[in-house]
Amino acid sequence: MAFTKNLHFRFFLLSLGLAGLIWILQQILPGIIHERIWHILIFLFSFFFMINLLNTFLIKLLPENFFHISVLAMILRLIGSLIFIGVEVWPQMENIILFIADFFVIFLFYLVFDIYAFLSNLRPISK
């Protein structure tokens, strides 16, 4: 099953599992889920996916600059996330703390997946 070892497939599975978990929590505990949670999930899904595609492309193109490319990806994630939070919060949103907490939790899920992908690719990159 080479398809299940594909990192992009695993990323989609993580996103589907996260969406299912959010939906279940929204039904059971609606007080801890912000009403714009789906905006957060869609943004982080698309943003992390694009950054991972860019990261993969640049590492294949310039393998000797692996560290610089990884740091660039981290900086882009941080800046993009701060811009998203600023744009979403700017028009006097209610429950800003809940929004930021939900964003942070989903961001951490994707960040842990990214660290897992990074660690699992160290051996093929070092060859």
What does the alpha-carbon distance between residue 107 and residue 80 come to, in Å, rounded to a whole number? 12
Q: Provide the 3-class DSSP secondary structure of residue 106.
A: helix
Domains of the chain, by residue range, sit at 7-126
Taken in order 24, 27, 30, 33, is the CA torsion positive or negative? Answer: positive
pTM: 0.84
Per-residue pLDDT of the chain (127 residues; tens, 9 = 90+): 565 567 788 889 989 999 999 999 999 988 889 989 999 999 999 999 999 889 889 988 988 888 888 889 989 999 999 999 999 888 877 888 999 999 999 999 988 888 887 777 665 555 5
Question: Got the DSSP string for 24-75?
Answer: HHHHH-GGGS-TTHHHHHHHHHHHHHHHHHHHHHHHHH-GGGHHHHHHHHHH
